[in-house]
Amino acid sequence: MTFSLADGYDSLEDFLDARAPNQPEFHQAVTEVTDDIKPIIDAHPEFKSANIFERLVEPEQVISFRVAWQNDANEIEVNRGYRVQFNGAIGPFKGGLRFHPSVNTSVLKFLGFEQTFKNALTGLPMGGGKGGSDFDPSGRSDQEIMRFCNAFMQQLYRYIGPDIDVPAGDINVGAREIGYLFGAYRRITNRFQGVLTGKGQSFGGSEMRTEATGYGLVYFLAEMLKHDSDDLDGKSVIISGAGNVATHAAEKAVSLGAKVITLSDSAGFIHDPDGLTQEKIDWVRAHKAKKGTTLEAYVSKFGGDWTAGKGPWGVKADIAAPCATQNELDKDSAKMLIDNGVLAVIEGANMPSTAAAKAVFRSADILFAPGKAANAGGVAVSGLEISQDRMRRLSDADQIDETLEGIMTDIHAACVEEGTRDGHVDYSKGANIAGFRKVADAMLSQGVG
């Protein structure tokens, strides 16, 4: 049997090995989507004859550039910068920048591919893109971060613009880095434009952008529970990560009556059986903002346990929210969660579950929300920031929060519509199909080129 979606290949694996060799994360992201969209393509000869599948999995542009910059010891360091402009069929490319040693073409192609579906799900006119650098900001001084951002933008500015591509933050790129990048863009181009989102509010940033991914995640979770005639009140939640997504998810979950009992970083995790409070979350944020800290200090401050070198997945809880990074949750962790009776797994990070872990979740009778649907709140508020920049008029926090909640409710509804079979909602399938339909229709309408 040959692989019906791409002529001349025996299987999807064969196709990916030939077209994108040595890109395991990208293969994982494409494989996960293909199973769900294949029946739709098979049922639509117009998608097949327009070769939509092969076009969808090939980025429009993959840009890579040298970033040379001077560190505090006056040495010249060289990093690699990237921008993957994956699919622009429904709007200018949009997606974050990540600064991390693990950044490479495979990781950015997986992220750009996921972003294409995620952005389509928001209902806002944004194509998919992703970028960043293998630069490791840990232990760097503020001056070094600024010089790196200046050098990075000195190359990136050629490829972006409000009608072309609008980057934002991702891992290790927050408000400080976006400020430096925006300043560099403005000085290089002599233009004050909404070319990045996640900006400070004094220069065109939106209210709630910082909170949006974590809050949106919990709005999505609340919708899932509501759909099952349940709610968050009194539920125990384990969260991994201690960054922007994790701490804001914790904050919103606590405010809706849940008990959040873990957070983690690359050194280990804390388990606080009494549950996090706003005070504890604020402390974690301030502590993690300092250079070279781990969460271990939490325990001497507030009690609980610290476990080094592990994620929190062995802690019994009703809800698990992986909010750190890709492939952080493996098959054994997934089985532990199921054995411990987890009700819902909700992905705050992008592709945090390995393919095998995801298979465990999807075959178990639990609620499973994939990142491309559940963590879309961040980019959704980025979309609102783009509109606000165009009008040069900012909305207030309550308005944005309400719109965010509405968008997450709509994404949930789209997943339910496309993913329900025999009374069970397969949210991954729903998200993949709903995102695919929108992008594929736009590609079809725009012809070949």
Which residues form the catalytic set? Answer: 130
Handedness of CA 296, 299, 302, 305 (dihedral sign): positive
Q: Give yes or no for a contact between 165 and 126, defined as CB atoms under 8 angstroms apart.
A: no
Strands, E, within 26-72: which ranges?
Answer: 61-70
Q: Give yes or no for a contact between 263 and 191, defined as CB atoms under 8 angstroms apart.
A: no
Choice between 168 and 324, CB closer to ligand GLU: 168
Choice between 336 and 386, CB closer to ligand GLU: 386
Rounded to 5 degrees, φ, ψ at 35 are -55, -35
Rounded to 5 degrees, φ, ψ at 448 are -105, 140
Closest by Cα among 1, 135, 21, 141 to 78: 135
**What residues have CB less than 8 Å from 306, skipping those under 6 apart?**
268, 269, 270, 271, 295, 296, 298, 299
Rounded to 5 degrees, φ, ψ at 420 are -90, 130
Q: Is 177 helix (H, G, I), strand (E, B) or coil?
A: helix
How far is the C-alpha of 83 from the C-alpha of 165, rounded, in Å?
A: 10
Query: Minimal CB distance to ligand GLU: which residue?
Result: 96
Report in angstroms how near the CB of residue 86 gets to ligand GLU at its nearest: 12
Report in angstroms how near the CB of residue 191 gets to ligand GLU at its nearest: 19
Choice between 91 and 96, CB closer to ligand GLU: 96
Choice between 115 and 262, CB closer to ligand GLU: 115
Closest by Cα among 205, 159, 216, 208 to 182: 205
Report in angstroms how near the CB of residue 59 gets to ligand GLU at its nearest: 16
Report in angstroms how near the CB of residue 197 gets to ligand GLU at its nearest: 5
Token output for 444: 């079809």
Q: Give yes or no for a contact between 213 and 247, defined as CB atoms under 8 angstroms apart.
A: no
Choice between 12 and 168, CB closer to ligand GLU: 168
Q: Is 307 exposed, middle or buried (0-12, 13-18, 19+ CB in 10 A)?
A: middle
**End-to-end Cα spacing for the chain:** 30
Report in angstroms how near the CB of residue 416 gets to ligand GLU at its nearest: 22
Report in angstroms how near the CB of residue 68 gets to ligand GLU at its nearest: 26
Choice between 168 and 263, CB closer to ligand GLU: 168
Closest by Cα among 173, 183, 156, 163 to 94: 163
Closest by Cα among 211, 275, 282 to 239: 275
Choice between 132 and 419, CB closer to ligand GLU: 132
Binding site for ligand GLU (CB under 6 A): 94-96, 118, 168, 170, 197, 350, 378-379, 382
